[in-house]
Each structure stands twice: as structure tokens, then as C-alpha cells.
A and B are shown apart, each in its own frame.
Chain A
Amino acid sequence: MFLRVLFPFLLICFSTAQALDVKLTADKEYVEVIHDNKLVRIQRIQDQDHVLEGGFAKTSRKCPPFCIQPMSAGEGVRTVGQLEIFEFMEKELLDGTGVIVDSRTPSWWKRGTIPGSINIPFTTFSLEVNDPQLIEVMKTLGAKRRGKVSGLSRAIEQFGLMGGSQKNDEWDFTTAKKILLWCNGMWCGQSPRAIRGLLELGYPADNILYYRGGMQAWQSLGLTVIVPED
């Protein structure tokens, strides 16, 4: 009888000990993503007395250039928070229809990034349309550089036919992926610049998501970061 009572009790104690106290949401302890061919678990710091350390504990930076950014990074671009990122990681990132872009310069990226992100510095989107680096990056994002298009074809496309709504003179966005861009947070202009660059290139706004909280919010919540390997 004693054992009958004790065993379930121990089982409950054991399973409680295994569970995380600081979860992502009430029903989600962690999210797993593939980063550089490795499985990485994203969770929060479990020490409830921990206080943020490091560069993101800093509250003040000179403005300009480190000015507070508006909530919207462009017309039609959706601003998202952490929960939408977790969902994005479990859906679009996993099935290959989405990309998470750390749009900061490489010197920021190499100090630590959000797992699952790739680094495309915001400056890339100001390159000339024929620049091989821009073409390669756009290919990664699912957009194709167009060859010579006849005037007639373009005219038909401009009526919305032949998938014209997803194309312009330079790019074909028919297979464009959903992109989630982020940088250092509310005081960072790097991802808003990248988004403006993408919109200027004609990238469909409804395929762009802006994580305004960026690394600042990610660190504040004690979420896992990864230092990219050289």
C-alpha cells in the first residue's frame, strides 16, 4: 500500500524536477531550431535571480544614430514579437518557406545571434541590382533576377496576368520566401534600413516581418543565443 502511494508521488516529483520553471509560454518550455546543421534548443535562463549582464544591459547610446525606431518598418510589413518568432521557427523556418535574417553587420553577428538566423547585413540591399552578391542573397530569399523581358510580356504582367503581381522589371518574387528581419532592438536602425531596401527592390511587403524587439528584447527575456562559428 505504502509503495502504491509512494511510487506515483516520486514519479510526480521526478517529472516536476525535469520540467523547466521558466518556460516560454504556459504550455511551451522550449523551441528547437537547426542552426548551421546543429540542433539548438531555445529556452530562457532558469535562474530567477539572474539580472541581465553584458552590452544589452546598457540603456543609453548616442542618438543619432541609435535612435528609437517606429513600430512599423514599412507599409504592409508586420511587426512581430517573440511568440510569433517561435511560431515562425516551428513552421516557415522548418519547412523551408521562411528565413530569419540577422540584418546587422558581421561584427555584431559574430558576437552572438538568435539561433536559426542567417546573416545578411542591411548594406547588401543597397548594392546595384546586377551585383552578384545581391543576386545571390535574393536567390537565398527565393527571388530571382529576371532576364530580358519583352515589352509585351511586361504589359500583360502589369495587368496582373502571368503572375505579374509578383514581378517587376528586375525581379521575380513568385517563389519569394517569408522573411523575418531583426537587429539590435528598438534603438537599432539596421533592420528597418534592410526592410526599406527590400521594399525598394519590390519585395512583397506581406512576405516581410519585422522583429522590432531584436537582440535587446531577446536578451531581456534570457533567451538562448548562439555564437556563430568562424
Chain B
Amino acid sequence: MYFVRNNQVHMGALLFSVALLFLWPGQKSYAQVSSKYMETLEGEASGLKLDTQTRVQPQKEAALNENFDKAKGGAISDLKQGFSLERFEDVLKNNYIGSYLFYKRLNDQQKAEVFGYYQNNPDPQKVREKILQVTKSE
């Protein structure tokens, strides 16, 4: 009697394990996808066109990046002491675009503060830190 009951328990455990094996992949199905879904997605994407007027206009993009490309070619050098404000901003824009985007959002007085700092500290890292410091003090 005990043996039969024990066998039933074992059989139950076995069935449960098999069921778990089948169910287990379902636990991670959040991002796992069927090939049919992927095919439908790809099919929908294949003929897709975006509104042409929303696309970045090549000329405008070129204009925005003109100096940036020059920097890549080495035409514009790194920060050096004695640059005019215009030249300083150009170098920042061309070589340190992240810092420049922060700098651009400062008001005239804050920009003057950064420029003044640069004149005594023509080190890009220090200038960046100064820009961030001025930004945070807003």
C-alpha cells in the first residue's frame, strides 16, 4: 500500500517536472517573440517611408557640422591662450560639442564669466568644469 502511494507521489512529481519543463520557456516570454511576429514586424517596416519634410535637411545639417568636420580634419586646433571670444566659442563648438551645448544655454554674464576663466585657464577640462559649475549655480 505504502509502495503504491509512494509510486503515485513519484509519478505526480514526474508529471509536475515535465509540466514545468514545458512551462519554463513561457516564464521568459516577455521579449522572446515568435517568428511570425517578427515576420509581421519586418513586413510592416519594409515599405515604410517617413514624411520627407521631417527629415534633417542635408544642407542644413552640413551647415551645422561644417566647422565640426573641419575640426575632424585638424583645421581648428585645440584651446590655446589668447583667443578672441568668437574664436574661443568656435573652438568649443568644433572640438567640445558637449561643453558647447551647456555653454550656449548660459546668459551673457555667465558666458563672460566662463570666457574670463578660460583666459587664465586655457585647459579644456577646466573650462568644461567651469561651465558645469556656472550651469549648476543658475
A residues within 8 Å of B by Cβ?
A: 32, 34, 37-41, 45, 47, 50, 52-57, 61-62, 65-66, 90, 94-96, 104-105, 107-108, 111-112, 115, 122-126, 190, 193-194, 196-197, 200, 215, 218-219, 222-227
Contacts and interface: CB of A to CB of B under 8 A. Distances in A.
A110 to B, nearest CB: 9
B105 to A, nearest CB: 7
16 contacts: A32-B101, A37-B97, A45-B53, A47-B53, A54-B48, A61-B44, A96-B98, A104-B45, A105-B41, A107-B45, A111-B45, A115-B56, A125-B30, A126-B32, A223-B54, A224-B56
Interface in B15-41: 28, 30-33, 37-38, 40-41
Given A107-B45, A122-B31, A40 B56 contact: yes
Contacts of A41: 56, 60, 64
Interface in B30-74: 30-33, 37-38, 40-42, 44-56, 60-61, 64-65, 68
B56 A55 contact: no
B51 A222 contact: yes
Contacts of A38: 61, 64-65, 68
A52 B52 CA distance: 9
A201 to B, nearest CB: 10
Contacts of A56: 50-51
A119 B44 CA distance: 18
A107 B38 CA distance: 11
B56 A105 contact: no
Nearest to B46: A107
A123 B54 contact: no
Contacts, number: 121
Contacts of A37: 68, 97
Contacts of B65: 38-39
Nearest to B57: A224
Contacts of A115: 56
Contacts of A34: 97-98, 101
Contacts of B54: 45, 218-219, 222-225
Contacts of B47: 55
Contacts of B30: 125-126, 193, 196-197, 200
Given A107-B41, A126-B32, 19 more contacts: A34-B101, A38-B68, A40-B61, A45-B54, A53-B52, A55-B49, A55-B50, A56-B50, A62-B40, A94-B98, A95-B98, A107-B42, A107-B45, A111-B45, A112-B50, A126-B31, A200-B30, A224-B56, A225-B54
Contact of A225 (B38, B41, B56, B60): B56
A47 B54 CA distance: 11
Nearest to A222: B54
A185 B49 CA distance: 15
B131 to A, nearest CB: 11
